[in-house]
Structure formats: structure tokens, C-alpha cells
Amino acid sequence: MHEDGNGGGRGGEPGGEGGVSGSGVNQPEFLALERELTVLLRRARANQGEMAREVHPDLESSAYGLLVRLGECGGQRATDLAAYIGVGKATMSRQLRALEELGLVAREPDPADGRAWLVTLTPEGQERVGRVREARRARYARRLSGWNPREVTELARLLHELNRGMEK
């Protein structure tokens, strides 16, 4: 790790994964990161449940992220969705069945492979998910109204980097 402490967390540096040695994890910046991420994730889980109920009262909170993914990326195969969300095929099948019963998703033949199916949002699903996401962005805008737009951009960039790093 660099002596100034700013080099940790980048791949390819000595000291194990991401260049952080075993003793580096107790440095104040990693303790603060762990504490703040724990709070953020706890709040995100609670918010996900609220947003799921806003989409549909019977929607499981874990299915909200699946609907967002479909809204952003369009039709997806169930196996791709399961891999992205990090669940098994059986769990994904159960969630998709429930979403179909709620009228939020539909299955369509994959034009690239007639044997496969794509899961897509229904018009009702698009409308409901879009409305909830717009309300969520409005809440972010209100809560961060005192921030400089460059700070919001930088936070989004850093979170993107964090998410990319977690995929490795």
C-alpha cells in the first residue's frame, strides 16, 4: 500500500486482494468504511421493502431489484437474471412466477433462440416501477438538496467504482 494511505484498494498491489494486507483492514479508513456501508445497507434493505410495497402490496422486497433490472436492461433470460441477482434457478423461477401472477412481468420467446424465453416488464410493471423510481429520485434530490451537484456526481462515481470492485 502507498505510504499516504491513498493507494489501498486497487488491484495488482502487493499484500493480497486489492493490495490490502491483513493488518491494513484495521486502519481507520477501513473501519469507517465498514461502519458507513453497514448503515447504508441496513437503510437500503428497509427502503427496498418500502419501494416493493409501493410497486405492489404483495411484492416481496427481494423482487424489487429484479424489476429495476428489467426496467433498465429490457428483456432478460431467467438464468441471466438469477446470475445477476445472485440466486439459484429455483428461487428465480419462484420469484418470476409470483411477478407474473401480479401482472408485473411476462415471458416472451427469445428472438435470438426460439427455445429460450425472455422475461420483460408488462406495461403495468413499467408504469409502477417507473413511478416508484421517480419518487425515490425525488427523495434523494430533497435529502441531498444542500449538496453541490459535483458532490452528487462524485458520490455516484465512487459508488459505481465500489460496485465494479465488488463484482471481481
pLDDT of residue 114: 81
What would the DSSP string read from start to end of the chain?
A: --TTS-STT-TT-SSSGGG--GGGGGSHHHHHHHHHHHHHHHHHHHHHHHHHHHH-TT--GGGHHHHHHHHHH-SB-HHHHHHHHT--HHHHHHHHHHHHHTTSEEEEEETTEEEEEEEEE-HHHHHHHHHHHHHHHHHHHHHTTTS-HHHHHHHHHHHHHHHHHHH-
Indicate whether this model's pTM tops 0.95: no
pLDDT tens by residue, the chain, 168 residues? 333 333 444 444 444 445 555 567 788 999 999 999 999 999 988 888 899 999 999 998 889 999 999 999 999 999 999 998 889 999 999 999 999 999 999 999 988 888 889 999 999 999 999 999 999 999 999 999 999 999 999 999 999 999 888 876
